[in-house]
Amino acid sequence: MGNLYLVRHGQASFGAADYDNLSALGHRQSVRLGEYFAARELRFEAVLTGSLKRHAQTWVGIAEGAGLDLQPLVWPGLNEYDSEAVIAAIHPDPLAPTDTPEMYKYHFRLLRDGLTQWMNGVVSPKGMPSYDDFVQGVISALDHVRKQHTGNVLIVSSGGPISTAIGHILGTAPEKTIELNMQIRNSAVTEFRFTPKRHLLLTFNSLAHLDGAEYAPWITYS
């Protein structure tokens, strides 16, 4: 049996011109997670990441904190869906900036609606795969891990692929993964146990590396 650790990227740059970069806090979250792994003498025989910048930057932070020197396998099937494209598919008009609590909530209501329609084949967001192809990209990474590895493996990805992976192994309805996704915090760890035949869920959305009052301001969702 092996253990698969799925990590959501550190805080990205929500509301900035380019979301796909870690914030300064996102980097600190990633380094802190690496320090946590090192303190527990946790080593990995392989690392997989999506091809987004925030995935690569999170791995750099983890590796820095843990003192690891592994070359990650870049797996595009672990990339996040394009939330802007999802929203535009149901709301083509430009949105006001998400600089108020009301607009922030409105943004995520649209995202939930757009994701539901994408999952049901109602809309086809520009530049994105079908939902079935998105799921297959995630499954392909899980299949690779259980077929090629027997020890500890790390995946650095995003909330969408991680919640999809959980939904796949638990057999939940696609719409349920939307709510799972919205709960996954930055740098949170979800752990699977795997054999050559299957994956089993052990933990979900853990922030053990941020335990303590001094880390309370580090807990984020973006």
**Over the stretch 21-69, which tens digit does the pLDDT of each residue have?**
999 999 999 999 999 999 999 999 999 999 999 999 999 999 999 999 9
Q: For residue 20, is pLDDT > 80? A: yes
CA dihedral 136, 137, 141, 147 (to 10 degrees): 40
Per-residue pLDDT tens digits for 170-190: 999 999 999 999 999 999 999
pLDDT digits (tens, 9 = 90+) for 31-40: 999 999 999 9
Domain boundaries, the chain: 2-80+129-218, 82-127
- Residues 6 or more apart whose CB falls under 8 angstroms from that of 155 comprise 4, 5, 6, 7, 47, 48, 49, 78, 141, 145, 162
Assigned CATH class of 2-80+129-218: alpha beta
What is the reported pLDDT for 91?
93
Q: How confident is the model at residue 15 (pLDDT cuts 50, 70, 90)?
A: low
- Give the mean pLDDT of the chain: 95
pLDDT band per the 50, 70, 90 thresholds, residue 17: low
Per-residue model confidence (pLDDT) at position 16 = 66
Q: What is the pLDDT of residues 140-156, one digit of tens each?
A: 999 999 999 999 999 99
Query: pTM, whole model, 2 decimals?
Result: 0.95
